[in-house]
Amino acid sequence: MRIAIGADHAGYELKESVRSLLEQEGHEVINFGTDSTDSVDYPDYVHPLAKSVIAGEVDLGILLCGSANGVCMTANKHREIRAAIAWAPQIARLAREHNNANILCVPARFVSEAQARAFVAEFVNASFEGGRHARRVEKIPPALD
């Protein structure tokens, strides 16, 4: 699977751990940065990653920032993106199974490395169930403006 990954400065170190895990599992990981703990503006990394998901250049995206709120809000501004914040492995799995999420957002300042890796594993290994969930996802408008 091709997976895009990106983070701001608060999520950089955890991003590198998650990236390593995904590569060890045989996934092709496309790094959208940042590549240090120097302060950056997360939208500069989120927008290119979201566009890559929409274009089908990657199968899924993973974003990390301090609270996950900023990256999630920014990603969800894009049509066809369904970004979800996870704080438990089951939430990450259900985001894919029930909501057909295509980007997982991880709150780097509030989870351990082991927790983040568990969230990502559940997200990547889950599949959209369709059925009644497809009907609900179809009711999410691409934009309200």
Mean pLDDT, the chain, integer: 95
Q: Residue 27 catalytic?
A: no
Percentage of the chain modeled with pLDDT above 70? 97
Can you list the domains of the chain with their CATH numbers?
Answer: 2-138 (3.40.1400.10)
Tell me what pLDDT residue 141 has: 74
Tell me what pLDDT residue 144 has: 52
**Does the structure show a pLDDT above 90 at 23?**
yes
Out of 27, 72, 98, 105, pick the active-site residue.
98
Q: Residue 105 catalytic?
A: no
Is 38 buried (19+), middle (13-18) or exposed (0-12) by CB count in 10 A? exposed
- When pLDDT is cut at 50, 70 and 90, the band that residue 145 belongs to is very low
Out of 27, 65, 78, 105, pick the active-site residue.
65
Tell me what pLDDT residue 9 has: 97
Tell me what pLDDT residue 7 has: 98
Tell me what pLDDT residue 92 has: 98
